[in-house]
Every structure is written in C-alpha cells, then in structure tokens.
Amino acid sequence: MNRLLRTGRPLARGDAPSMTLPVLIVGSGALASFFAARLAATDASVTMLGGWPEGVAALQTRGVCLVDANGGERCFPVRATADPSSCRPASHALVLVKSWQTARAAEQLAACLAADGIALTLQNGWGNRETLQAQLGMARVAAGVTTLGATLLGPGRVRAGGDGPVALPPDERLTPLRDLLRLAGFETRASADVDGLLWSKVVINAAINPLTALLRVPNGELLTHPDARALMAEAALEAAAAGRVQGFTLTFDDPVLAAEDVARRTAANHSSMFQDMLRGAPTEIDAICGAVVEAGEQTGVLTPVNRTLWRLVRAAVNGDRLSVISNQTGTDTDHVSRVTKHENSHHTR
C-alpha cells in the first residue's frame, strides 16, 4: 500500500502563514478555476495564466465564481492573463491544464517561473511531470495527485464535483503551498510514493472515463449494463497489470472492485472525458489509455481493451470534428480525413 507520511487538517485562519503566498495557476478550466476560487477565498494573491480568451476575459471582468450544490454563487478576485511574461517571477505554480496542453504550459512556465521556483502538477494522466521537466528541469517540477473533481459551468464559473485529498511529495519547497491549500480547506497528505498514486488514478480513469465518454452516460450507469461493466473490469485489470510490472504499488488490491467503487460513489458525475467529448474538445485519452498501451508495449503486458478504447475515443473526437467541418462548410470529408490523419500522426504516443 502507498505510504502516507502525514495528514494535514484544514488550517484555521489563525494558523495562516504571516505572509500571503502569491500563487500562479496555469489553466482556466474546471479544476484550475476551482482551486483558484478556494485559494482566492483566503485572500491569497492568485494569478491565472490561461490560453482560452473567453475564460481569461470573464476572469478579468468578474473574477472566478464558485457555485455550490444549492445554486449559491460567490465570486473572488483573481488576476488573469494570457501573457506568461507578466507573471514573472513566479515562485509557486499549480499546473491544472488538460494533459494535451502540458507542453504549452511548460513553455509558458519557462518564461515566468523563478529560477528557484517550483511547479506542482495535479493533472490527470501519465507523463505530465516528464513533459514539464523537459522544459523546466527536474529540480523545478513536482507531481502530486488529487481525486477532486469540478464542472465548468461557463467561462470563470465552476461547481465542485468529487471530494478527496491532495497528495504531495515530501518536498520542503512545497511547504508554503501545502499550508495555503490547508488554509483553503483542502485536505493534504504527504506521500513518498506519488508514482503509485498516479498510476492508481490512471487505472481508475482508464476503466471509467472512456466508456462514459463513448456511451455518453454518467459514471454510475456503467454498473447497470453488463457489457459496459465487463469492459470496465478488463480495462482496470490491464492497467493494473501494466503498473505492477513497472514496480508501482497501487492503492488497492483489486482494481475491478476499486473502479466499481469509484463509479458507485460518483454515480451522478459526468467524467471529464465525457464533458470534453460533449464540447467537441480534445480529450486526455493519450495520457490515460494511451499510457497504458505504451506501458504494455514496454513490459510485454497485453492491453487489447485499453488499445481499443484509446482508438475509439480518438476516432469519435475526430469524427465529431469532421461532422462539424462538413456541416458548416460543405468540405469534402475524405480530404479532411486525410488532413486530420496527418495531424494526428504527430500526436500519437
């Protein structure tokens, strides 16, 4: 089992650090907005670096707005920008973009992260830390894990989803950020085995997210359909096997029961991949099922279900793009298919 070194209770305001820690959040989507709202509620100085023009404009106009379960809404002031040079020098950065946006986030951080600063990724999927390290160096990047969820209701407006802790590596440079997270009401834990936590999350995501996206159902419905439930189990078993062969210690003994438990506890939730597909946006399938397939190829573990899910989600997203292009412009879809295939060849894991 994963070794937890410390559990951090939420801090009371009287426990707050004597100085407000400036925090840079890279991203303006659901999880970025959720963290920004919670941190800004403590009067922390929060800057959001985003590449979504509508999102940045909304954040600049009214701040970031957090909607509670009863429909109540509170907005908090943040500084929002699309210009990384205006964020210099950032001492602590939270990276909360989609995995397919990580390379761009790394380039942005290269322009604004202080020489002794640190960027913490809490993203979904596998490989984000390595992408950031390629640009920033190993010393300036740390990876954590969270099971928190959020739903973006519109530019700068977010509603909390699933609850859960934020696991951080035992790095002293993260202490100010950890304390601020606790002040904002987040439960923090220090873990000496972040890789095990990360791959455990990949296992759960591989089992749930692509199926909910392809079938367009909330998480819990996977448990009501025997075929979907069987596919979910096979995807979890493959991903867990690929992780264990790599030497990762998972946070559960039975990956099938673990995936089903998450689907049951988040029954009404729409997975982030489902939300992405509904918007016609790129998904994180490459960093989830694609990562499982890649690990299987490297270790000799067979991953046919994950490979099929990976290809189906990619095909579905590209099919939606072709349908929109064809309907709006009357473009020859065979020609667009050839162009899209060429584009995707540069993004295949």
- Kindly report each contact of residues 296-300 with a partner whose C-beta sits within 8 Å and lies 24 or more positions away, as own/partner: 296/238, 296/242, 299/242, 299/245, 299/246, 300/245
Backbone angles phi, psi at 142, to 5 degrees: -135, 150
Is position 201 annotated as part of the catalytic site? Answer: yes
Catalytic residue among 140, 159, 178, 201: 201
Strands 166-168 and 46-49: unpaired
d(CA 45, CA 24): 9
- Kindly report each contact of residues 320-323 with a partner whose C-beta sits within 8 Å and lies 24 or more positions away, as own/partner: 320/277, 320/280, 321/280
313-340 residues labelled b (16+ CB within 10 A) or e (exposed): bbebbbeebbeebeeeeeeeeeebeeeb
Q: How far is CA 46 from the centre of its chain?
A: 19
Active site positions, annotated: 201
